[in-house]
Amino acid sequence: MTIKTFRGLLADGGQDTIVLHTNDGSTGYRIVKFQLMPDAPGTVEHELMCKIYKTVPSAVDGLIDFSDNTLLAASIMTSYAPTAYITATTTIFDNEIFNQDIYVTAVDTESSSATNYYIELETVKLDLSESTVASLKDIRNVYSQITT
């Protein structure tokens, strides 16, 4: 099992693309860790919302909808000034294997602070049929976004 890590700092309302696609789609990924941290803990109140999508989201917002089949993970973290203590963190991620780029979004619903994120992805070798299924799922998700 090989783990790839990604980290970044997103401005409030920001979005990052994590490039994962390959020419043949034979490498799959599964989320094994997803963590958040405010950019300036203890200075202001934070309610950080960070999500990971399989396709480009139509909007960057602070709403969570688990019926959205393009949502791979969601995490929310709250902290209150003047203490630097994180009061609550909830992170949920799907066990799904994907082989295309993913998109990370961040919103701070209390202030307008930036959000640090850290993601660990397990790499999975896909055979031809698994690669085809993963790619077709992503194509279907993109098509469903276009038609709705």
The CATH number covering residue 82 comes to 2.60.120
- Mean pLDDT over residues 85-110, rounded? 87
pLDDT at 147: 59
Q: What is the domain count for the chain? A: 1
Containing structural domain, residue 22 = 2-147
Instruction: Compute the mean pLDDT over every residue in the chain, rounded to the nearest whole number.
Output: 86
pLDDT tens-digit map of 55-77: 999 999 989 999 998 999 999 98
Q: Where are the beta strands (DSSP E) in 39-114?
A: 46-53, 71-79, 86-93, 102-108
